[in-house]
Structure 1
Amino acid sequence: MFGLIGHLTSLEHAQSVAHQLGYPEYANQGLDFWCSAPPQIVDTIRVTSVTGQTIEGHYVESCFLPEMLATNRIKTAIRKILNAMAHAQKHGIDITALGGFSSIIFENFNLKQMPQVRNVKLEFERFTTGNTHTAYILCRQLELAAAQQGIDLTKATVAVCGATGDIGSAVCRWLNLRTDIADLLLIARNPDRLRCLQDELGRGKIMELEDALPLADIIVWVASMPKGVEIDPTTLKQPCLLIDGGYPKNLGMRIQHPGVQVLNGGIVEHSLDIDWRIMSIVNMDVPARQLFACFAESMLLEFEAWHTNFSWGRNQISVEKMDLIGQLSVKHGFRPLLA
């Protein structure tokens, strides 16, 4: 059995969908209540591969909300993710994907040093961040959408915002080894990590965000949007392809210009309907078919009976592992979202 650990995008979102989740008593509660709310299994899922194989899984709502980080409730956020992992393990889930901020919190706060959750010792091989599949899908979206837009990659400048993160660094490795892009611009907050990535790749220009974006034909956004940062679409190249790999996805609403195509990055579409309701709650356009690539990774691992932490640790994603998960993605009927 596979599992998905997720969370809602805001307190307002959580309040609005509490009835759909089956917890109407949560609907009028504030942040303090959600800070104390335990994880819950709120959906049972059936997925059928194009090979004919069918698997079952559960969606675990962690009751984490991004406002917990914004209000400096770091210990609460950590507790939320660890409790959700313990909840999944106690219910016998063999491989669980950490969705959204779950994987970011796990990595940034080194939760592998906290394996004991009350009477449960976490078996980390039961969990995957899903980042390898996400990175693969982002790269395929870039290649396919560029072709649709008439952008010649051999002449294109690609800017990766969040280049030193787990997903961002994997995207940079793929671009370096699997494409012939003309220029690669590296954008991140930590200059030491940027220099290490540049040394590893043997290429890439380290630039500030405001200097890099006007030069880019393609922008891959896999960083959180800092407060106060606004992107003026009139300063971007025309045409420009912007792939929003963050969560929640909001660049499409913030950047609206006829010369800029904003693509929801890291989203896959399955060839067959999935029996679940959770994707309608997170506002997928076609909720029976579309889902986050990180969630799909746990499904792929369950289809193959690979109950292992396929994606784990910071900057450990190789192009070879992206190739492997990409082959499984195609085999079982997933494809990158392009519209």
Structure 2
Amino acid sequence: MFGLIGHLTSLQHAQSVARELGYPEYADQGLDFWCMAPPQIVDDITVTSITGQTIYGKYVESCFLPEMLASQRIKAATRKIVNAMAHAQKNGINITALGGFSSIIFENFNLQRITRIRNIQLDLQRFTTGNTHTAYIICRQVEQGAQKLGIDLNKATVAVCGATGDIGSAVCRWLDARTDTAELLLVARHQGRLETLQSELGRGKIMSIEEALPQADIVVWVASMPKGIEIDAENLKHPCLMIDGGYPKNLGTKIQHPDVHILNGGIVEHSLDIDWKIMHIVNMNIPNRQLFACFAESMLLEFEQLHTNFSWGRNEITVAKMEKIGEISLKHGFKPLALAV
């Protein structure tokens, strides 16, 4: 059995979803209540591969909200993640994906040091961040989106914003090794990590966002957008492909221009309907088919009986692992969300 640990995008979103899912006692409560709320299994999932194989899973709502970080309720945020992991393991889930902020919080706050939650000894082999599949899907979206827009990667400049993160660095490695991308622009906040990545790749120009955006034919966003940044579509190249790999997705509401094409990055579409209700509440266009690639990774590992933390740690994703998860993804009927032009 596979599991998905997720969270909602805001307090308001959480309240509306709680009401829809039949938890009225959660629906009218404020942030303090959500800081105390325990994880809940709120959905049972059935997925069938194009091979004919069927697997079963559960969605674990962590009750984490991004406002907990903004309001300095760090202890509550970290407790949410490890409690959700313990809840998944207690319920016999073999492989669980940490979705959204779950994996970021786990890594940034070094939560692997917490090995025991009450009477549960955490087995980290049962958990995966899903970042390898996400990185693979984003890279395929770059390749397919560029082709659709007539952007020649041999002549194109690609800016990766969040280049030193787990997903961002993997995207850079793929673009360097598997494509003939003409120029890579590396954008991130940590100068030392940027220099390390540049040295590893043997290429790439380190730039600020303001310097990189006007030069880029393709922009890959895999980091939270810096607070207060303004993007003027007139300063971007036309056409420009922007792949929004963040959560929640917000570039589409910030940039409106006919020659700037926004694609929701890290989203896959399954060939067959999935029996679940959770994707109806996170605004997928086709909720029975579309889902986050990180969630799909736990499904793929369950299909293949690879109950291991396939994606784990920071900057450990190799091109070979991306190729492997990509082959499994295609085998079972998943494909990258395509650009609608």
Q: What residue number does 1:293 align with?
A: 293
**Partners of 1:104 and 1:143 in 2: how far apart?**
26
Q: Are 2:236 and 1:236 equivalent residues in the alignment?
A: yes
The amino acid that maps onto 1:258 is P
Q: What residue number does 2:37 align with?
A: 37
Q: What residue number does 2:67 align with?
A: 67
Runs of 4+ in 1 over 6 A off after TM superposition: none
Q: What residue number does 1:273 align with?
A: 273
The amino acid that maps onto 1:292 is F
Contact 1:44 1:276 in 2 (8 A): yes
Q: What residue number does 2:124 align with?
A: 124
The amino acid that maps onto 2:251 is L
Q: Are 2:91 and 1:91 equivalent residues in the alignment?
A: yes
SS of residue in 2 equivalent to 1:219: strand
Q: What residue number does 1:58 align with?
A: 58
Q: What residue number does 1:103 align with?
A: 103
SS of residue in 2 equivalent to 1:186: strand
**Partners of 1:231 and 1:81 in 2: how far apart?**
33
Contact 1:22 1:42 in 2 (8 A): no
Q: Are 2:182 and 1:182 equivalent residues in the alignment?
A: yes
**Partners of 2:308 and 2:67 in 1: how far apart?**
31
**Partners of 1:234 and 1:14 in 2: how far apart?**
36
Q: What residue number does 2:204 align with?
A: 204
**Partners of 2:337 and 2:265 in 1: how far apart?**
8
The amino acid that maps onto 2:302 is E
Contact 1:3 1:94 in 2 (8 A): yes
Cα distance, 1:123 vs structure 2: 0.1
SS of residue in 2 equivalent to 1:155: coil
SS of residue in 2 equivalent to 1:57: strand
**Partners of 1:264 and 1:251 in 2: how far apart?**
9
Contact 1:5 1:61 in 2 (8 A): yes
Per-residue Cα deviation, 1:27-81 (whole angstroms, up to 9, x for no partner): 1111001000000000000000000000000000000000001111111110000
SS of residue in 2 equivalent to 1:152: coil
| TM-score between the two structures when normalised by the length of structure 2 | 0.99
The amino acid that maps onto 2:233 is P
**Partners of 1:258 and 1:283 in 2: how far apart?**
23
**Partners of 1:297 and 1:257 in 2: how far apart?**
33
SS of residue in 1 equivalent to 2:154: helix
The amino acid that maps onto 1:195 is E
The amino acid that maps onto 1:36 is M
Consecutive unaligned residues in structure 1, runs of 5 or more: none
The amino acid that maps onto 2:260 is V
Contact 1:222 1:245 in 2 (8 A): yes
The amino acid that maps onto 2:145 is A
- How many residues in Structure 1 have an aligned counterpart in Structure 2? 339
Q: Are 2:279 and 1:284 equivalent residues in the alignment?
A: no
| TM-score between the two structures when normalised by the length of structure 1 | 0.99
